[in-house]
Amino acid sequence: MFTSQSRSRRHRRTASAVSLTAVLALTVAACGDDGSSASGGGEEGSGKGEITFWDNNGGVRTDVWRVIINDFQKENPGIKVKYVGIPAESVQSKYDTAIQGGGLPDVGGVGGAMLAGIAAQGALEPLDKRISGSSLDGKLNPVMSKSVKSSGGGEHMYTVPTSANNGTLWYRTDLFKKAGLDAPTTWPKFYDAAGKLTDKGDNKFGYTIRGGEGSIAQALDAMYGQSGITSFWNGDKATVNDPKNVAALEKYVGLYKKTTPSADVNNDFKKMVAQWDSGQIGMLSHNLGSYQDHVKALGGPEKFRGIPNPTLADGTRVQVSNPIDGLGLFKASKKKKAAWKFIEFAASHKANSRWNESAGAIPANVDAAKDGWIKKSESTDLAAQALSDGKIKIVELPYYLPDWNTISKADNEPNFQKVLLGKMTAKDFLDTLAEQLNEAQAEWKEQKK
Amino acid sequence: MITQEAPAPTAGAAAGRGRPGPRKARRRAWDEVPRWQIFLPLSIYLLFTLIPFYWILLFALRPSGSTSLIPWPMTGEHFEKVWTERSFAVYFQNSVVTGVASLLMTTLVALVGGYALARFDFRGKRPFMLGLLCSQFVPGALLLVPLFQIFAKLQLINSLTSVVIAETVFQLPLSMILIAGFIRNVPYSLEEAAWVDGCTRFRAFCTIVLPLLRPGLIAVGSFAFVHAWNHFLFALMFLSQQDKQTIPVGLNTLMSADSVDLGALAAGGIIAAVPVVIVFGFIQKWLITGFSSGAVKG
């Protein structure tokens, strides 16, 4: 005989069992492979339909992408492009989650700094054959193509390069004129101007240094630029802790607090650019991308100039490579044919020119690089000339190392702050950095075997 | 009642009748301190706290290119830009839907679960409570991939439902613990009296217990709303469609890799902050009562 209590207990048990089974089934289903993993399952498709495009620098570049997408859709009525702007700071984690969990787009913007990591996970389609059989063959800047290949591990082109940025020294022409200073075209002139433009009592500074997020690449740029060392590697050993580099970094870090605000120790690019745009600082090292911010904040382009990094006294210019932006085709795409059409269109002369004019960057399409707007945009023109005049020496940073992002950010940015604050010597900082890089390089070579 | 149980005044107490009580002593001490010694440090602290807000207002209201420290001439160009060009109107709507749905679901489920925790003894109750507490130590980022896969299986990716479910799940442990604390504060005898009068358990709960839980419900609900309103990670990961994104994701898109529109960012920040400020303005009294009673007695 069943009592109501025992019936109720039985019901509860049944309900618990059903719930538990459902949860387990869902969990097992979630852990299983649905066939759409990042490294496979893709198809060429018919060349029509809707494709998804993730912009790795969403927001600020949304408008220009919409124009390009509209033009593309007019030319290809059978293809619809769904644009998704991803915040630049979060794009790496968005890609990583989608690679692990599914849901990658057909086409995505992939910067050089994250290319190695994404390519190493097998998520991107090699594009060499598609490029050679398309209208882009011979139209892509060979230096940028080489850099993209190198960033992806050296064997394949995993993205079609679209643009390059360049380290730029922005300086206030009005302040320089008032102080009777020459343009900071060489390192000695740069240091001279930094000192002469500083008047701490009046809250005026000659330079603003990047001490927060993104500080390592900028410090390396200043370091190699002054030491004149032109290669990142000497065999399998990083040259970052070469005595010449140590001396150069010591000199550069010596600017902190003497000719820069003390708050610079926490400067990421946003704070640094905002600080410079407020009008009390003579010089700023950033890339071409902040041009529009300066124009807006300083009320036009008359009060400032952007020139490539200073040269050594003998005119030699050495600078570190900048990551090349590009468009990648994801292996899991079910519409690779349509996706490739979009990439080909976006990297073509007209679209590439339009995008780079809006961003103030250097086009990867060689025809776009000859367009009239570049001559009118002095900072971009000077950067393009510097990169193509054959005199510049580029120190290729190891973007191909999957650990590069970790080493150049989380692992060493706090140490650089210690160097600025005098709690660590430049030599110790660079020795640590070199050790980590040497290890990462050895590991990468081992994996490649 | 305490007054009934209090001992009668003794001779010693009578002797000390002339001495002021602790409340009076505090009052006198307060009166003896010059006002400026209290209000000056508080004003400095307030100023320090308000400066960042003033800075946001300044950037949002002054025209591009202006370096003035006063937002004059005032402009609405940045608000117009983010609202129309940067699609904040859509993001705002999505955030409201996500916030309100998370509020309702969290409150409802926490109410039911909290009642069970407060009123029933069942096997494994203590480990369950411990599990609820421990779940607070698991960061959302750790569960992103499995959550993503589950939502993908359920075809909920690119749907606000996925964000609402994830937010609710992450809010529930704390909310349930809080609500259970509030329910324990309501004497069980009140419910029993209602049963004696013929109410069912559900009706007794609705008519007797629920009205007494108002501060707690407001505290838990507002907490859930604000958390869902501000949360960035789930919206970024589960919504890969421009017209589905929420305010925190929209704010982040105003900062590119090498350029940032400070005017637009400040205007976007104000748009994001205003609903939260309004909500807190209305409910602050309930919120403080709610959190303190739930937390102390829980």
Domain boundary among A356, A388, A420: A388
Answer yes or no: are the C-beta atoms of A115 and A151 closer than 8 Å. Answer: yes
Q: Is A12 domain-assigned? A: no
Percent of chain B with pLDDT over 70: 90
With a cut of 70, which residues of chain A have pLDDT below it?
A: 1-40
Tell me, what CATH number does A154's domain have?
A: 3.40.190.10
pLDDT value at residue B208: 92
What would the 3-class secondary structure string for chain A be?
CCCHHHHHHHHHHHHHHHHHHHHHHHHHHHHCCCCCCCCCCCCCCCCCEEEEEEECCCCCCHHHHHHHHHHHHHHCCCEEEEEEECCHHHHHHHHHHHHHHCCCCCEEEEEHHHHHHHHHCCCECCCHHHHHCCCCCCCECHHHHHHHHHHCCCCCCCCEEEEECCEEEEEEHHHHHHHCCCCCCEHHHHHHHHHHCCEHHHCEEEEECCCCCCHHHHHHHHHHHHHCCCCCEECCEECCCCHHHHHHHHHHHCCCCCCCCHHHHHCCHHHHHHHHHCCCEEEEEEEHHHHHHHHHHHCCHHHEEEEECCECCCCCCEEECCCEEEEEEECCCCCHHHHHHHHHHHCCHHHHHHHHHHHCCEECECCHHHCHHHHHCHHHHHHHHHHHCCCCEEECCCCCCCCHHHHHHHHCHHHHHHHHCCCCCHHHHHHHHHHHHHHHHHHHHHHHC
Whole-number Å distance between alpha carbons of B186 and B118: 10
| Burial (0-12, 13-18, 19+ Cβ within 10 Å), B31 | exposed
Same domain as A141, residue A196: no
To the nearest whole angstrom, how far is the Cα of A372 from the nearest Cα of chain B?
A: 24
B12 touches chain A (CB under 8 A): no
Q: Which residues does chain A have within 8 Å of residue B237's beta carbon, measured at their own beta carbons?
A: 93-94, 97
Same domain as A158, residue A295: no
Q: Is A431 domain-assigned? A: yes
Contact criterion met (CB < 8 Å) for A63 and B85: yes
Same domain as A154, residue A210: no
Whole-number Å distance between alpha carbons of A275 and A281: 8
pLDDT value at residue A278: 81
Q: Which residues does chain A have within 8 Å of residue B144's beta carbon, measured at their own beta carbons?
A: 97, 101
- Residue type (1 letter), A411: D
pLDDT value at residue A14: 52
Q: Is A2 domain-assigned? A: no
Q: Which residues does chain A have within 8 Å of residue B234's beta carbon, measured at their own beta carbons?
A: none
To the nearest whole angstrom, how far is the Cα of B156 from the nearest Cα of chain A?
A: 12
- Name the band, by pLDDT with cuts 50, 70 and 90, for residue B290: low
Can you tell me whether residue B271 is helix, strand or coil? helix
Q: Is A41 domain-assigned? A: no
- Smallest Cβ distance to B262: which of A58, A274, A300? A274
Same domain as A271, residue A131: no
A23: phi > 0 → left, psi -120 to 50 → alpha, else beta; which? alpha
What single DSSP character describes residue B124?
Answer: T
Who contacts A297 (Cβ-Cβ below 8 Å, separation ≥6)? Answer: A274, A277, A278, A279, B64, B65, B67
Same domain as A203, residue A110: no
Answer yes or no: are the C-beta atoms of A420 and A265 closer than 8 Å. Answer: yes
**Residue A86 structure tokens:** 């991803």
Same domain as A289, residue A411: yes
Same domain as A291, residue A358: no
Maximal C-alpha separation, chain B: 80
pLDDT value at residue B9: 44
| Interaxial angle between packed helices A243-253 and A215-227, expressed in degrees from 0 to 180 and rounded to the nearest 10 | 120
Q: Which residues does chain B have within 8 Å of residue A90's beta carbon, measured at their own beta carbons?
A: 236, 252
Q: What is the pLDDT of residues B108-137, one digit of tens each?
A: 999 999 999 999 999 999 999 999 989 888
- Smallest Cβ distance to B150: which of A26, A59, A87? A26
Give phi and psi for A239, each to the nearest 5. -90, 5
Whole-number Å distance between alpha carbons of A286 and A307: 10
Q: Is A140 domain-assigned? A: yes
- Smallest Cβ distance to B148: which of A56, A103, A288? A103
- Asked whether this complex has an ipTM greater than 0.85, the answer is no
Domain boundary among A388, A404, A428: A388
Same domain as A407, residue A272: yes
Can you tell me whether residue B260 is helix, strand or coil? strand
Contact criterion met (CB < 8 Å) for A29 and B153: yes
HSE-CB at A166 with a 13 A cutoff on CA atoms is 30
pLDDT of residue B2 exceeding 50: no
pLDDT value at residue B261: 84
B84 touches chain A (CB under 8 A): no
Average pLDDT of chain B, as a whole number: 86
Can you tell me the mean pLDDT for B179-198?
A: 93
Whole-number Å distance between alpha carbons of B107 and B224: 8
Q: Is A223 domain-assigned? A: yes
To the nearest whole angstrom, how far is the Cα of B69 from the nearest Cα of chain A?
A: 11
- Of A90, A272, A304, which to mutate for an interface test with B (greatest number of B Cβ within 10 Å)? A90
pTM: 0.82
- Of A53, A84, A287, which to mutate for an interface test with B (greatest number of B Cβ within 10 Å)? A84
CA A326 to chain centre: 10
Same domain as A342, residue A316: no
Same domain as A100, residue A56: yes
- How many residues appear in chain B? 298
Domain boundary among A373, A388, A403: A388
Overall domain count for chain A: 2
Contact criterion met (CB < 8 Å) for B65 and A54: no
Answer yes or no: are the C-beta atoms of B276 and B229 closer than 8 Å. Answer: yes
Contact criterion met (CB < 8 Å) for B255 and A52: no
Contact criterion met (CB < 8 Å) for B258 and A292: no
Same domain as A285, residue A179: yes
To the nearest whole angstrom, how far is the Cα of A170 from the nearest Cα of chain B?
A: 14
Q: Is A40 domain-assigned? A: no
Can you tell me the mean pLDDT for B31-47?
A: 90
- Name the band, by pLDDT with cuts 50, 70 and 90, for residue B252: very high
Contact criterion met (CB < 8 Å) for A26 and B254: no
Answer yes or no: are the C-beta atoms of A57 and A109 closer than 8 Å. Answer: yes
- Least Cα distance to A45 among A101, A125, A110 occurs for A125
Answer yes or no: are the C-beta atoms of A224 and A320 closer than 8 Å. Answer: yes
Domains in chain B, start-ordered, CATH in brackets?
30-75 (no CATH), 87-297 (1.10.3720.10)
Can you tell me whether residue B255 is helix, strand or coil? strand
- Of B149, B236, B258, which to mutate for an interface test with A (greatest number of A Cβ within 10 Å)? B258
Going by their DSSP bridges, the two strands A233-234 and A237-238 should be labelled as antiparallel
Can you tell me the mean pLDDT for B74-82?
A: 94
Whole-number Å distance between alpha carbons of B120 and B133: 19
List the single residue in B with minimal CA-CA distance to A105.
B240
pLDDT of residue B174 exceeding 60: yes
Contact criterion met (CB < 8 Å) for B253 and A299: no
Contact criterion met (CB < 8 Å) for B148 and A299: no
Compute the count of residue pairs across chains A and B with CB atoms less than 8 Å apart.
123
Q: Is A307 domain-assigned? A: yes
Domain of A284, in residue numbers: 167-322+394-448
Same domain as A173, residue A146: no
